[in-house]
Amino acid sequence: MPSLSISKDHNASKALGSLIYTLPVTPSTSRNGLMGEPLEELADYLGVVSKRYRPSAIQALSVITYNVHRLSCLTLSDPMGLPVLGVPRRAQGFSVPSRYKVNQIGHQLWCKVVDALEAIGFLEVVLRGYKGKEHMAGLRSLYRPTQAFSIWLDQVIGRLQLEKLTDDAEPLLLVSKGPGGRRLVDYRDDQTTQLLRRQVQFISNVCQSHLVEGWIPKRLAMGKIPPALINYRRHFRDGFDQGGRLFSPLQSIPKAHRRHLRFDGMRTIELDYSSHQPRMCYHLKGLRAPEDCYAHPTIPRPLLKAAMTRIMNCGSVTQARRSIQKVLHEAWLDYSVDTGMTAGVLLETVFELHPLIKELMSNDLWMRLQYLESSIALGVMERLAKDDRPCLGIHDSFVVSEDVEDQLRLLMIEEYEKRLGYEPCLTKV
């Protein structure tokens, strides 16, 4: 099982007055779980449902156990932080269109299983979220796996295996933002969606047909990556020409661990598109881009990249300044104090470096760029799959076996030039 890297939960940290890292659990759309005889035994011990609903309870347990195991493999940016599970308890979080239904977990059953695990001392409440007396409105409930849960999991992990909860999960997800926030919406199938679905499924099938191995931190050894973790989905926003990023569970592993991946026993390399989104902005306007759009003589590249990403997706200068201020406060506070860097100075620096950014910045620019980026990525991965070459795509970067490096480099250039008419800048990660 690959390790996971997550970031600070700022709202929860503020509510609790301590550093919290939250791993969100989404039972209604969870396609994978840890299954095996120990889980069956745990379900019998909990005894929370009748025989009729036992399979559903086992699926709920499998999802929780899977996420507890992911949490145990967590890499925290601050070791003083507390890693917790974000567990939904509201009925509306379990209402999804039938095409997205990937398990038998219902709202009441889910809450029964969570409460039963708390009752036997496997889960401990960190925060009871949402609306209500003395509750924090707008925050999900947070739970911490106890030492008892960890001990049990360590004892049985060798008898558990990661399995898909369904073999017929929808690989095309369409999300729309409404008054209640983002939600999955249904759609009518046509030739476009059928083609997109076949493309994603084909790439997943090729990757899953090969032996993929990675570093397992819990075991301090290399191990086989379960095929369920190399199952791709493509996420669209408001239509099938916006967003469209490709996701698989395996891509959540930290960059440091990706270099350990092996495809069919062979070492791997990773190539990515350098300063991809700002470069696309230049090329969309028919302009040549700087060699490195994030380069500056005094400002650290990661800070400039974070600022530019925020600015490009803001609808006004005022909104951009607030967004940059948040970046400085949350991730670059020491730097801003030591150097006197302010949101206003950083904003003007970006506009001076790239006047084009000020012209193009908007709330929906990210959807247009992400669709273009994902179309390029799908083109690269599909052509590799047609040659029976597995590839782990991480948005604008790709992991392949060492013997495929030259082919990957050529395909990345060709797919980019085909859509933008300019040659990209590639870097080896």
C-beta separation of 411 from 383 below 8 A = yes
Write the Ramachandran bin of 243: left for phi over 0, alpha for psi from -120 to 50, otherwise beta.
left
**Mean per-residue pLDDT over the chain, rounded:** 90
The closest alpha carbon to 147, from 125, 167, 123, belongs to 123
pLDDT at 120: 96
Confidence of residue 187 (pLDDT cuts 50, 70, 90): very high
How large a percentage of the chain has pLDDT more than 70?
Answer: 96
C-beta separation of 261 from 399 below 8 A = yes
How large a percentage of the chain has pLDDT more than 90?
Answer: 69
- CA distances to 89, 281, 340, 350 from 320, rounded to whole Å, are 34, 18, 19, 11
Write the Ramachandran bin of 280: left for phi over 0, alpha for psi from -120 to 50, otherwise beta.
alpha
- Encoding tokens for residue 213? 């191995």
Other CB atoms within 10 Å distance of the CB of residue 132: 9
C-beta separation of 103 from 165 below 8 A = yes
Mean pLDDT of 403-408: 97
pLDDT at 78: 75
Full-model pTM: 0.82
pLDDT at 381: 97
For 298-349, how does the pLDDT look when each residue is reduced to its tens digit (9 = 90+)? 999 999 999 999 999 898 999 999 999 988 987 898 899 999 999 999 999 9
The closest alpha carbon to 388, from 200, 210, 195, 265, belongs to 210
Confidence of residue 217 (pLDDT cuts 50, 70, 90): confident
pLDDT at 73: 80
Phi, psi for residue 231 in degrees, rounded to 5: -115, 115
* 255: pLDDT strictly greater than 90: no
Q: In what order do the strands lie in the sheet with 123-127?
A: 20-24, 82-87, 141-145, 123-127
Task: Find where tokens 């910045």 sit.
Answer: 361
Task: Find where tokens 């308890």 sit.
Answer: 89
The closest alpha carbon to 240, from 178, 183, 173, belongs to 173
pLDDT at 136: 45
What domains, with CATH codes, occur in the chain? 4-164 (1.10.10), 172-276+366-428 (no CATH)
pLDDT at 331: 82
> What angle in degrees, to the nearest 10, is found between the helix axes of 405-420 and 365-386?
140
Q: In what order do the strands lie in the sheet with 243-247?
A: 181-184, 172-178, 233-237, 243-247
- Encoding tokens for residue 128? 């009871």
The three-class DSSP label of residue 193 is: helix
Other CB atoms within 10 Å distance of the CB of residue 225: 24
pLDDT at 167: 78
Ranking 66-70, 90-94, 104-108, 390-394 by mean pLDDT, the lowest is 90-94
* 1: pLDDT strictly greater than 60: no
Confidence of residue 385 (pLDDT cuts 50, 70, 90): very high
The three-class DSSP label of residue 75 is: strand
d(CA 64, CA 172) in angstroms, rounded, equals: 24
For 121-149, how does the pLDDT look when each residue is reduced to its tens digit (9 = 90+)? 999 999 987 654 444 446 789 999 999 99
pLDDT at 247: 92
d(CA 311, CA 290) in angstroms, rounded, equals: 18
